[in-house]
Amino acid sequence: MNTKEKLENQLKEAMRSSDQMRKQTIRLALSSIKLAEIDQGKPLDENTVLAILQKEVKTHQETLENAEKGGRTEIVQENQQQISILLEFLPEQLSEDEITTIAEQVIADVQAKDMKDMGKVMREIIPRIKGRASSDKVSHIVRQILGNG
């Protein structure tokens, strides 16, 4: 069962159990996926669905950070719950050390020497992480390695 099907099944469960937070969060994620499918004119592959979920998590994290700065505790709690719901559908996230190890391997594989090779490295590394880390985080680590190397 792919991630989109899991989301749809969990939405039905949330509706049956009247879990409003879960229902709202999953419904929002599914609408983002549906919008992307309409834009592309075809069903999305698993990696794209995972990327959309990661983007949703990132959006909630940014909202959470802003709410913390503003002292809005109810918004902080709401976004923490939404993030934890979304993370259930993403593969276990890689640590910074694991990303660094993968990045170093890819850099060696493509024989990247400096920042000019960033695109080559990213094209190769993104399929390897498959939703287990945000591309922003991966990009940051690759930049550090190529900048120092």
For the chain, report the end-to-end CA distance as a whole number of angstroms.
42
SS3 content of the chain, % helix, strand, coil (to 5): 80, 0, 20
Q: Which CATH number is 96-148's, of 1.10.3720.10, 1.10.10.410, 3.40.50.620, 3.30.70.1070? A: 1.10.10.410
Average pLDDT, integer, range 46-73: 91
Whole-number pLDDT of residue 131: 73
pLDDT 10s digits, 61-74: 999 999 999 999 99
pLDDT 10s digits, 86-115: 999 988 888 899 999 999 999 999 998 888
Question: Distance between CA 7 and CA 34 in Å, rounded?
Answer: 12
Contacts for 50 with CB less than 8 Å, ≥ 6 apart: 3, 90, 91, 130, 131
Give 91 or 39, the one with higher predicted confidence. Answer: 39
The CATH T-level fold of domain 3-87 is Hypothetical Protein Yqey; Chain: A; domain1 (1.10.1510)
Domain with CATH 1.10.10.410 in the chain: 96-148
Contacts for 2 with CB less than 8 Å, ≥ 6 apart: 46, 49
Comparing C-alpha atoms, which of 144, 145, 149, 105 is closest to residue 125? 105
pLDDT 10s digits, 72-86: 999 999 999 999 999
Domain with CATH 1.10.1510.10 in the chain: 3-87
pLDDT 10s digits, 2-34: 999 999 999 999 999 999 999 999 999 999 999
128, 102 contact by CB (below 8 A): yes
Question: Distance between CA 28 and CA 56 in Å, rounded?
Answer: 9
